[in-house]
C-alpha cells in the first residue's frame, strides 16, 4: 500500500551550538503549530511543510524530562576540561550524548498527517535505522523495554541509536542520535539513557562494520528509509 506523500524540507546545520539548533527546532515547531490553528490549514497547501534537521553536534550531554543527575558520572570541572556542554531539554528519556561522528536527526513533523500513535511513531523511527544498518550488513534489533536500536552479540546488547521525542499538538520535536563514527569514550562519563546493566552498552556503525563511514552517505540512506517508512517527499533535500 502506498503512503500519502508528506512534504518535508531538509536542513543540514553545521558549526552551531546545541542551543542554536534547539532554537531552530522551536522556530519550525511553533510555525507548524501556528499553521494548524488557522482555519485555512491544509497539508496540501504549497506553504506548508514538515522538516528534517541533520547535524553533527559539538560534545554535549542532554538530560531528558525523566533524567537523573546521578547518571552523570563527572563533575562540572571535568565537563569544562573536556569542553562538554550539559543541558536539560524537553524530550523524553534520560541522559545521552551528542557529538562529533554522531548523526543527529530532528523530526519536526505534524503526526496527524501520518497517525495519532506515538508508540507507532517511535517504532517507525527505529525501523528507519534498522533499514540503514541492513545496508551495512549490521543487524539492528529492538528491545521491548527500551527505545532505540540495538546490536546483539550473544548475551550482550549495545545501543547504536538513541531515540527521544517530544510532541505538542501532535507536532514532533527531537528524534534520533545515530552513532556512526562516534568516539564511544564520551559515554564512559554517563550511564547512557539511565541503563545501568553490565550486559548493555553503546556501540557505533564504524565499530560494527570495521570501518569509518561518511556521514553524508548515512544521511542519504536515512532519507531513502524515511521515504519508504513515512512517505516523505523532499523539498530541496540537500539544502543547508
Say which residue, 26 or 89, is predicted with more confidence: 26
Residue 240 has pLDDT above 60, yes or no: no
Q: Which of 210, 232, 96, 91 is nearest to 159 (CA)?
A: 96
Q: Domain extents for the chain? A: 6-235
| The Cα angle at residue 56 between residues 166 and 163, in degrees rounded to 5 | 30
CATH superfamily for 6-235 is Bira Bifunctional Protein; Domain 2 (3.30.930.10)
Residue 142 — pLDDT band, cuts 50, 70, 90?
A: very high
List Cβ neighbours of 162 (8 Å cut-off, separation of 6 or more).
93, 96, 147, 148, 176, 177, 192, 193
Give the tens place of pLDDT for each residue, 149-178: 999 988 899 999 999 999 999 999 999 999
Percent of the chain, pLDDT > 70? 94
Q: Stretch 53-78: mean pLDDT, rounded?
A: 90
Residue 239 — pLDDT band, cuts 50, 70, 90?
A: very low
DSSP 3-state of 112:
helix
Q: Which of 38, 165, 163, 50 is nearest to 112 (CA)?
A: 50
Give the tens place of pLDDT for each residue, 3-34: 788 999 999 998 888 999 999 999 999 999 99
Instruction: State the residue for C-alpha cell 522551536.
Output: 26
Least confident range from 31-35, 62-66, 105-109, 205-209: namely: 62-66
Query: Which cell numbers hold the place of 137?
Result: 550488513
Query: Which cell numbers hold the place of 227?
Result: 521515504
Query: Which residues are tagged catalytic?
Result: 193
Q: Please tell me the distance from the alpha carbon of residue 62 to that of residue 46, in angstroms, as a whole number.
A: 35
Q: Please tell me the distance from the alpha carbon of residue 130 to that of residue 139, in angstroms, as a whole number.
A: 7
Q: Stretch 37-51: mean pLDDT, rounded?
A: 72
Amino acid at each position: 500500500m502506498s503512503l500519502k506523500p508528506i512534504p518535508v524540507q531538509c536542513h543540514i546545520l553545521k558549526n552551531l551550538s546545541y542551543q542554536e539548533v534547539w532554537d531552530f527546532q522551536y522556530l519550525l515547531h511553533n510555525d507548524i503549530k501556528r499553521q494548524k490553528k488557522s482555519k485555512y490549514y491544509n497539508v496540501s497547501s504549497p506553504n506548508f511543510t514538515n522538516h528534517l534537521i541533520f547535524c553533527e553536534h559539538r560534545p554535549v550531554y542532554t538530560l531528558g524530562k525523566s533524567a537523573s543527575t546521578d547518571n552523570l558520572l563527572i563533575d562540572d570541572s571535568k565537563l569544562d576540561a573536556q569542553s562538554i556542554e550539559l543541558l536539560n531539554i524537553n524530550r523524553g528519556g534520560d541522559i545521552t550524548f551528542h557529538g562529533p561522528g554522531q548523526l543527529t536527526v530532528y523530526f519536526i513533523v505534524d503526526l496527524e498527517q501520518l497517525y495519532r500513535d506515538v508508540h507507532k511513531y517511535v517504532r517507525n523511527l527505529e525501523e528507519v535505522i534498522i533499514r540503514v544498518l541492513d545496508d551495512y550488513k549490521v543487524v539492528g534489533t529492538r528491545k521491548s523495554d527500551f527505545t532505540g536500536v540495538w546490536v546483539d552479540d550473544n548475551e550482550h546488547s549495545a545501543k547504536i541509536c538513541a531515540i527521544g521525542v517530544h510532541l505538542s499538538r501532535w507536532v514532533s520535536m527531537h528524534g534520533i542520535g545515530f552513532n556512526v563514527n562516534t568516539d564511544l569514550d564520551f559515554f564512559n562519563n554517563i550511564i547512557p539513557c539511565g541503563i545501568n546493566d553490565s550486559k548493555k552498552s553503546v556501540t557505533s556503525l564504524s565499530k560494527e562494520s570495521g570501518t569509518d563511514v561518511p556521514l553524508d552517505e548515512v544521511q542519504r540512506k536515512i532519507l531513502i528509509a524515511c521515504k519508504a517508512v513515512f512517505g516523505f517527499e523532499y523539498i530541496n533535500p540537500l539544502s543547508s
